[in-house]
Amino acid sequence: MKKIQILGTGCPKCKKLAQSAEEAVKQLGGEYQIEKITEINEIMKFGIMMTPALAVDGQVKVVGKVLSPEQIKQLLT
C-alpha cells in the first residue's frame, strides 16, 4: 500500500491538494492511504519550507504547487 502525505497547515491550497489526491486515488482504485500532516514540526522534518507539498511513501514529490488529480495519478503510476 502506498502512503500519500499532504503536507500543509490547512490553507485553501492545502485543502485543494488533498481533494485532488483523494480524487486521484478514487480514479486509480488501488491500495493507497492518504495522510494529512498539519503540524508544522512534522512538516519541517521533511525539509520543506513551502506548502502545500505532497509526499509518496515519505519521499517529497512536489512543493508549493496544487496538482490536478491527473498530475497526481502520473506520480503514482
Dihedral sign, Cα of residue 35, residue 38, residue 39, residue 45:
positive
Catalytic residue among 6, 7, 14, 17: 14
Catalytic residue among 3, 9, 10, 11: 11
Does residue 70 have an active-site annotation?
no
**Euclidean distance between CA atoms 70 and 44, whole angstroms:** 27
Does residue 32 have an active-site annotation?
no
By DSSP bridging, strand 2-7 and strand 59-63 are unpaired
Q: Which residue numbers are catalytic?
A: 11, 14
